[in-house]
């Protein structure tokens, strides 16, 4: 059987389950990456080889580029034309000369406003501008008349057409986004990412469907991003997110999502933030964003009454100033930004008080509770089968279970006192935990929640108490930038952002439970030097540095709580985090896992630009160096007990079939008895993770004709893998021999360098990323563009770091091996010996292990032997982990209408491969599922073996249309529509848990999981609009009256909106999993019931109590998998409209002093967009009701600004 499973995983010397045999259902005609590379690499590799002889590196840019062709009236190119480029804001002038092909290129110049003058003896001069240059290549062609002495001046801005590449890109310009309403408190350019065509969020975990920010999936790219600040990488190596630039300091953000240049490296999505700089005039501003709950409206309350809005006191204020140090030479810009957020949040908890007070004393006689059984009365039947008689009301009267199995007596039959646990059987330690929660709750002056928010689920009244907690989240930021034009051909730029965020999380329950200090600080800095050696040779060098320091420490550490509670299982002086189950709120440190992250990124780079004939060639690379001096997430775990209701069930984990409530039992009853089905604890030290990524590229923009440009690029990357400075790595490796029985599969340690493996993830020297694009302008107002490329993402520690820091320190875990017959420990024990409380437990009998591994025996200190973690759950990290890659392609038609309007219709495609597929490699194979199938696990010496097989794929296709009007005459808008379909095996993200739910059924066949992805939103209509009313000074009407100007002038309205369909819902059997696949909850799909429709009639609001038809789904037969495909049902859509109204006053016109007052209203219509339904766990306790919204009630933020 082991040979079969190794073959199914594609294993030879190492576990490589990513090598599946049939991808036909995933692949499109463009998805054979080997064919792509065979055809593109030879030609491009030759160019790369020739360019590599030059001692340079190159990478990203914080600059723009003006490029064009000069012709005469006949269309013939004119060489030798002097092109004078003047920065009208800084007064800096640079001169270029067209080459023999009539081509000029400024190379890297600061994004700003420019005036271009074209002159050559014998021809008229031509002046163009002022034009606005952002971080892009802008085409400014010129036509000179022979023999004329007249000067032709054209004042229109740059065209709205993209004529130089086939990339799908967008620019968030400060001129526009600063006038749009903010949809969250404060100001952040990330609020506008969702407005992009193809941008989507996931509604679960830590993501958001309505406003995902930098964890959005865009155009088929999962959230594996690269975020730059002034051209330098700021993406963090562990969490793969970034602290973004201060909104006030942001000049623009260039977002590239498909088909972009080889000059840009890691990530399928590139965010390049460009900051503001000083000019020849002193400019500055003072600003404040203010929010208060008195201005807000209630969100949808689901029938609740008397609910109060959370207390909101939010202030974000600051000032900025910039100007010349030496006119025309040296310029500075500085900003200070401060946030004071003293919000008070209203929370709802389910506590064993009031309506639930009876269960605190072991009384389960109320309606809805299952029958509970006494595990101390059990008799174990070792062989044969046993038939259980079921409770009245079950769909069947009995069920037969294969043995070994357990027979127990109910408390009602034993004590003749109803469905109650006698007080003397309730664990004193459990009672202490319960008393701690209740005491803290009483001290917090809890209020009984309105019944409209509560539900009764299996006898428990949920959300039965409401309380408020303060939110302390101060944030201080500084920014500075210096620009120095050393000479006409040499520019130096330096910028730095510093911030400190010493927050405190008061948790989801009452302090000190779930409370912690959360201190985060960071620096982002870069220095750049641009040197124009000649009109055809330019060099741009840069050094970037980023750090982020995170210190998250729980409030209960070193406070003596384990001793106070009598919890002798604790390994650390810390309140343990766990949930007693049955919908009761958790105790301890469950939602606030302590961790320390100290992340550093060094990014030296250099770019060379050569102009040769009709070719503009960029080449070079960068050398990313990433360090993470951090701890594991939750590195201090006092000892987490687990409870699941198996030990108060009549037969343990009875396979439930399609019935409801067969096994009975109740998790909270297990908790009161103190019977643990699992235990884990750890205390691990800080590790020093290291990785490097040298990268080279060459990009040739070949201007075959003035109206036709071909883009050819190749990027080569090396990823040195992840290593640790002292070998502090430990992970399951299927090639390591286990001394216990000489089978393959044991723990590999970084310091051992066993089996030729000397680090966690192996280096990868074979990353070739070809890219091709084209832009054809058949008519002056029409462009047809397209592109194709291969893109690679990074390996963040959050997603790919399992085992890092695992060799040193202490850790251990145990789980029930008996399918609910025997607990692993009692909560009031010290864990030193196997638990024998229940008859027949803690021994080996008839060849069956009835949990003989004690918690203390499993808890090992700095293990060194391969078999040290036998009997435990372990992690797996594939040694030869491939980088996740995407094939991207697009075809786009743009047409400009007049000077200010454009229409864009595009097809966008994306195929991802080598994507993360996190599963349990020790799952029982489907063809071996059956009763008591522990012996069918691939690695029988272990419990779960969790890790990614890195063989998931994705496919995305979209049609996108948008209409844009440039901001002119006080009017601007963009409206875009996207139809798309996003399919994948499983979703993932570089930033942990931002991908939504990761449900799977068969760990060995990702094909079975291929369906709609979490980010699949079929229809999206988005837009923005700015309208300045045409009254007052400088406007069309009433422009000569001071009084009317004060009353009617300067008014402006703006709006943004997102109207889109819902995300798909993952529906599984949850904790009712009867497949016995040994992989736990949420690894079994449901079965469809023939003849039953999934869809119910009525609007979403009419279906809040049952969004989809629960009768259409049922539990599969025991020991089988379900046939209901993942993510088939879609949740409610989103309608979110924000609006803004503001007025600007000319306070001191001669000095340019203006004052702006503005009100932004998020969800201005106060329209409820509903969240995902139910717990989506088919079987006992299943619900399909909706109890939340994805967009809160209308929230108004006031904004004031004085500028000069």
Q: Residue 1081 pLDDT > 80, yes or no?
A: no
* Whether the predicted pLDDT of 25 surpasses 60: no
Residues 6+ apart with CB under 8 A from 1034: none
Mean pLDDT, rounded, for 68-94: 89
- HEC sequence for 468-507: EEECECCEEEEEEEEEEEEECCEEEEEEEEEEEEEEEECC
How far CA 1070 is from CA of 9, 999, 1002, 1088, in Å, comes to 26, 10, 15, 16
51 pLDDT above the threshold of 60: no
For residue 16, is pLDDT > 50? no
Q: Which two three-digit tokens encode residue 210? A: 């309505």
User: What's the mean pLDDT in 683-689?
Assistant: 95
Confidence band of 392 (pLDDT split at 50, 70, 90): low
868: three-class secondary structure by DSSP:
coil
Distance CA 112, CA 710 (A): 27
pLDDT of residue 851: 93
Token pair for 694 = 């040298």
Q: Kindly state the average pLDDT of the residues 814-834.
A: 94
Res 207: pLDDT: 64
Assess contact for 921 and 1078: CB atoms under 8 A: no
Q: Beta strand 901-915 with 952-968: parallel, antiparallel or unpaired?
A: antiparallel
What is the percent of the chain with per-residue pLDDT over 90, rounded to a whole number? 65
* Number of Cβ within a 10 Å radius of residue 1148: 11
Residue 442: burial class (beta carbons within 10 Å; 0-12, 13-18, 19+):
exposed
**pLDDT at position 697 over 60:** yes
Residues 703, 171: Cα–Cα separation, whole Å = 24
DSSP 798-847: HHH-TTBT-SSSEEEEEE-SSSSSS-SEETTS-SSS---SSTT-SSEETT
Q: How much of the chain is helix, strand and coil, in % rounded to 5?
A: 10, 45, 45
Instruction: Flag whether pLDDT at 506 surpasses 90.
Output: no
Nearest to 494 by CA among 441, 556, 542: 542
Residue identified by tokens 């490097």 is 692
Q: CB-hemisphere CA count at 13 Å for 688?
A: 3
φ and ψ at 493, to 5 degrees?
A: -135, 135
pLDDT in tens, 393-412: 555 677 888 888 999 999 99
Q: Of 127, 119, 114, whose CA–CA distance to 85 is shortest?
A: 114
Q: For residue 1, what pLDDT band results from cuts at 50, 70 and 90? A: very low
3-state secondary structure 297-358: CCCCCCCCCCCCCCCCEEEEEEEEEEEEEECCCEEEEEEEEEEEECCEEEEEECCCCHHHHH
Cα Dmax for the chain: 114
pLDDT of residue 447: 53
From CA 633, how far away is CA 421, in angstroms rounded?
A: 38
Q: Is the pLDDT of residue 24 over 60?
A: no
Q: What is the mean pLDDT of residues 696-719?
A: 96
CA distance 1030 to 662: 72
- Structure confidence by residue, pLDDT tens digits, 1009-1027: 999 999 999 999 999 999 9
Residues in a beta bridge with 782: 779, 895
Conformational region of residue 257, where left means phi above 0, alpha means psi within -120 to 50, and beta covers everything else: alpha
Instruction: Please tell me the predicted confidence (pLDDT) of residue 588.
Output: 56
Closest CA to 378 of 841, 819, 828: 841
In the predicted model, is pLDDT for residue 655 greater than 70? no
CB under 8 Å, gap of 24 or more: what pairs does 846-849 form? 846/382, 846/383, 846/404, 848/382, 848/404, 848/818, 849/817, 849/818
For 189-241, what is each residue's pLDDT tens digit? Answer: 999 999 999 999 988 766 677 889 999 999 999 999 999 999 999 999 998 99
Tokens of 611: 């102009």
- What was the pLDDT predicted at 266? 83
- Check if the beta carbon of residue 1178 is closer than 8 Å to that of residue 1112: no
Instruction: Encode pLDDT of 752-792 as tens digits.
Output: 999 999 999 999 999 999 999 999 999 999 999 999 999 99
Is pLDDT of 663 > 90? no
Q: Say how far apart CA 27 and CA 49 lie, in whole Å.
A: 32
d(CA 274, CA 63): 8
Distances (CA, A) of 620 to 59, 617, 709: 7, 10, 21
Residue 249: exposure state from Cβ atoms within 10 A (0-12, 13-18, ≥19): buried
pLDDT value of position 122? 78
H or E element that contains 217? strand 217-218
Q: Quick one: 766 exposed, middle or buried, by C-beta within 10 A (0-12, 13-18, 19+)?
A: exposed
- The vertex-1107 CA angle with 1103 and 1110, nearest 5°, equals 125
Q: Which two tokens stand for residue 1097?
A: 């009639």
Q: What is the mean pLDDT of the chain?
A: 88
Note the pLDDT tens digit of each residue in 32-45: 434 433 433 333 33
Give kind and range of the element (H or E) at residue 694: strand 687-705
- Predicted local distance difference test score (pLDDT) of residue 393: 57
Q: In which band, very low, low, confident or very high, does the pLDDT at 730 lie, cut at 50, 70 and 90?
A: very high
Residue that has been written with the tokens 């769909």 in this structure: 395
Q: Which two tokens stand for residue 687?
A: 């590790």
Asked if pLDDT for residue 26 goes beyond 60, the answer is: no
Fold for 65-154, please state it: Immunoglobulin-like (2.60.40)
Q: End-to-end distance of the chain based on CA atoms, in angstroms?
A: 77
Q: What pLDDT is recorded for position 394?
A: 58
Q: Per mean pLDDT, which of 79-83, 933-937, 1134-1138 is the most reliable?
A: 1134-1138
Which band of pLDDT confidence, cut at 50, 70 and 90, is reported for residue 275?
A: very high
Reference 266, options 623, 27, 512, 687; nearest CA is 623
């Amino acid at each position: 059987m082991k040979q079969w499973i190794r073959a199914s995983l594609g294993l030879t010397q190492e576990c490589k389950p990513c090598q599946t045999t049939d991808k036909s259902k995933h692949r499109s005609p463009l998805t054979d990456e080997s064919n792509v590379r065979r055809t593109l690499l030879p030609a491009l590799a030759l160019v790369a080889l020739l360019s590599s002889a030059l001692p340079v590196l190159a990478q990203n840019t914080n600059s723009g580029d003006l490029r064009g062709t000069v012709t005469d009236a006949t269309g013939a190119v004119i060489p030798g034309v002097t092109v004078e480029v003047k920065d009208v804001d800084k007064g800096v002038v640079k001169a270029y000369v067209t080459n023999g092909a009539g081509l000029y290129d400024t190379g890297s110049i600061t994004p700003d406003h420019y005036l271009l003058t074209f002159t050559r003896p014998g021809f008229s001069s031509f002046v163009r501008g002022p034009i606005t240059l952002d971080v892009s290549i802008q085409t400014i062609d010129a036509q000179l008349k022979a023999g004329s002495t007249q000067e032709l001046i054209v004042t229109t801005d740059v065209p709205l057409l993209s004529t130089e590449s086939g990339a799908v890109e967008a620019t968030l310009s400060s001129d526009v986004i600063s006038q749009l309403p903010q949809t969250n408190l404060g100001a952040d350019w990330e609020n506008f990412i969702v407005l992009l065509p193809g941008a989507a969020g996931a509604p679960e975990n830590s993501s958001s469907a309505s406003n995902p920010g930098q964890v959005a999936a865009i155009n088929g790219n999962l959230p594996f991003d690269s975020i730059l600040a002034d051209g330098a990488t700021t993406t963090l190596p562990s969490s793969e997110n970034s602290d973004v630039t201060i909104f006030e300091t942001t000049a623009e953000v260039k977002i590239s999502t498909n088909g972009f240049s080889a000059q840009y490296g890691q990530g399928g999505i590139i965010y390049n933030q460009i900051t503001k700089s000083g000019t020849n005039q002193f400019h500055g501003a003072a600003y404040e964003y203010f929010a208060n709950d008195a201005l807000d409206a209630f969100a949808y309350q689901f029938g609740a009454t008397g609910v109060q809005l959370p207390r909101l006191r939010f202030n974000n204020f600051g000032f900025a100033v910039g100007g010349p140090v030496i006119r025309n030479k040296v310029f500075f810009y500085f900003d200070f930004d401060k946030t004071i957020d003293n919000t008070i949040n209203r929370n709802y908890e389910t506590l064993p008080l009031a309506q639930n007070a009876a269960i605190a004393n072991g009384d389960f006689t109320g309606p809805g509770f299952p029958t509970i059984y006494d595990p101390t009365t059990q008799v174990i039947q070792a062989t044969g089968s046993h038939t259980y008689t079921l409770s009245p009301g079950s769909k069947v009267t009995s069920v037969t279970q294969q043995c070994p199995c357990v027979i127990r007596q109910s408390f009602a039959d034993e004590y003749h006192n109803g469905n109650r646990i006698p007080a003397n059987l309730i664990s004193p330690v459990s009672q202490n935990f319960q008393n701690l929660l209740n005491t803290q709750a009483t001290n917090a002056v809890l209020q009984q929640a309105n019944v409209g928010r509560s539900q009764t689920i299996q006898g428990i009244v949920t959300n039965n108490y409401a309380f408020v907690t303060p939110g302390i989240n101060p944030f201080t930021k500084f920014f500075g930038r210096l620009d120095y034009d050393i000479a006409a051909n040499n520019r130096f730029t330096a910028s730095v952002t510093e911030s400190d965020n010493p927050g405190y999380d008061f948790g989801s329950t009452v302090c000190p439970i779930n409370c912690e200090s959360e201190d985060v600080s960071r620096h982002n800095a870069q220095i750049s030097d641009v040197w124009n050696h000649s009109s055809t040779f330019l060099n741009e060098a840069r050094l970037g540095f980023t750090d982020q320091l995170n210190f998250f420490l729980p409030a209960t550490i070193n406070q003596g709580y384990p001793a106070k509670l009598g919890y002798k299982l604790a390994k650390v002086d810390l309140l343990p985090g766990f949930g007693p189950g049955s919908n009761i709120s958790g105790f301890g440190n469950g939602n606030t896992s302590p961790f320390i992250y100290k992340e550093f990124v060094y990014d030296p780079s250099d770019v060379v630009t050569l102009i040769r004939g009709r070719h503009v060639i960029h080449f070079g690379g960068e050398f990313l160096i990433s360090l993470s001096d951090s701890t594991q997430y939750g590195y201090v775990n006092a000892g987490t007990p687990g409870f699941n209701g198996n030990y108060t069930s009549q037969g343990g984990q009875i396979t439930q079939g399609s019935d409801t409530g067969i096994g009975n039992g109740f998790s909270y009853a297990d908790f009161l008895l103190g019977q643990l089905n699992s235990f884990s604890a750890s205390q691990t030290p800080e590790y020093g993770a290291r990785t490097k990524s040298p990268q080279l590229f060459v990009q040739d923009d070949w201007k075959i004709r003035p109206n036709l440009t071909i883009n050819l690029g190749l990027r080569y990357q090396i990823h040195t893998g992840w290593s640790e400075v002292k070998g502090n790595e430990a992970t399951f490796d299927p090639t390591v021999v286990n001394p216990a029985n000489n089978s393959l599969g044991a723990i590999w340690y970084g310091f051992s360098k066993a089996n030729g493996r000397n680090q966690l993830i192996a280096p990868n020297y074979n990353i070739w990323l070809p890219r091709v694009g084209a832009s054809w302008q058949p008519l002056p107002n029409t462009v047809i563009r397209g592109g194709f490329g291969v893109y690679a993402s990074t390996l963040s520690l959050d997603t790919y770091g399992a085992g890092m820091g695992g060799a040193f320190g202490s850790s251990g875990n145990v789980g029930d091996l008996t399918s609910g017959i025997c607990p692993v420990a009692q909560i009031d024990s010290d864990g030193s010996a196997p638990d024998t409380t229940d008859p027949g437990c803690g021994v080996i009998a008839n060849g069956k292990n009835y949990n003989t591994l004690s918690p203390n025996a499993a808890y090992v200190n700095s293990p060194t032997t391969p078999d040290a973690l036998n009997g435990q759950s372990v992690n797996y990290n594939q040694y030869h982990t491939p980088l996740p890659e995407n094939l991207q392609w697009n075809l786009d038609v743009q047409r400009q209408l007049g000077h200010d309007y454009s229409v864009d219709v595009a097809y966008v495609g994306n195929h991802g491969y080598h994507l993360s597929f996190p599963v349990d490699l020790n799952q029982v194979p489907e063809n071996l599922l059956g009763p008591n199938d522990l012996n069918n696990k691939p690695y029988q010496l272990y419990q779960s073996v969790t890790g990614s097989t890195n063989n998931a794929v994705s496919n995305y296709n979209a049609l996108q249309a948008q209409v844009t009007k440039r901001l002119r005459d006080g009017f601007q808008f963009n409206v875009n529509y996207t139809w798309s379909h996003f399919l994948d095996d499983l979703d993932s993200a570089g930033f942990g848990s931002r991908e939504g739910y990761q449900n799977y059924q068969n760990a060995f066949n990702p094909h079975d999981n291929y369906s709609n992805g979490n980010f699949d939103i079929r229809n999206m209509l988005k837009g923005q609009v700015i309208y300045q009313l045409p009254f007052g000074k400088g406007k069309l009407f009433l422009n000569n009256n001071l009084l009317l100007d004060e009353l009617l002038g300067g008014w402006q309205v703006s709006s943004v909106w997102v109207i889109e369909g819902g995300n798909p819902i993952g529906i599984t059997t949850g904790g009712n999993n009867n497949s016995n696949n040994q992989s736990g909850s949420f690894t079994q799909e449901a079965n469809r019931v023939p003849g039953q429709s999934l869809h119910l009639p009525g609007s979403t609001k009419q279906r809040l109590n049952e969004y989809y038809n629960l009768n259409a789904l049922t539990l599969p037969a025991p020991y089988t998998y379900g046939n209901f495909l993942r993510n088939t049902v879609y949740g409610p859509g989103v309608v979110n409209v924000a609006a803004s109204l503001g007025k600007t006053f000319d306070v001191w016109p001669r000095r340019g002093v203006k004052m702006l007052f503005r009100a932004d209203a998020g969800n201005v219509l106060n329209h409820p967009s509903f969240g995902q339904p139910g717990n989506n766990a088919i079987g006992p306790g299943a619900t399909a009701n909706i109890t939340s919204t994805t967009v809160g009630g209308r929230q108004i933020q006031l904004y004031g600004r004085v500028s000069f």
